[in-house]
Amino acid sequence: MRHDRAHYLPAACRAGGRGHGRGRLQHKARKLYVELQKEQATAKQLEIEWGQLQLEQGTWSTHARIERIATRELNLRLPVAGRIEVVQPSREGGRP
């Protein structure tokens, strides 16, 4: 009988060891998945910020381009402050 017990003990240890290893792998997989989700959230936020910066750059480049064309090609200059007049739209004709 002693021989039979000795045979089962190492088998039981091996089976327990496999289960423990699987638990460690599952824990590591969960940990890596959480890390992946954080990185994906960061990537999404950076993508949003990149889009906003591209819009801003487009706005600034448009104004700069118009001003450059107006001054270089059309020889237009900004008027001095005393020559600027603000005109209010009339309320006649159905337009505000």
In a domain, 70, yes or no: yes
In-domain check, residue 26: yes
Tell me, yes or no, whether 40 lies in a domain. yes
Whole-prediction pTM value?
Answer: 0.46
Whether 94 is covered by a domain: the verdict is no
| Residues contacting 89, CB < 8 A, separation 6+ | 95, 96
Could you list the residue range(s) of the whole structural domain that residue 41 is in?
A: 7-74
The 10s digit of each residue's pLDDT in 72-93 is: 999 999 889 999 999 999 887 6
Confidence of residue 43 (pLDDT cuts 50, 70, 90): very high
Residue 23 lies in a domain: yes
Q: How far apart are CA 81 and CA 86, in angstroms?
A: 11
SS3 95: coil
For residue 30, being part of any structural domain is answered with yes
Number of domains in the chain: 1
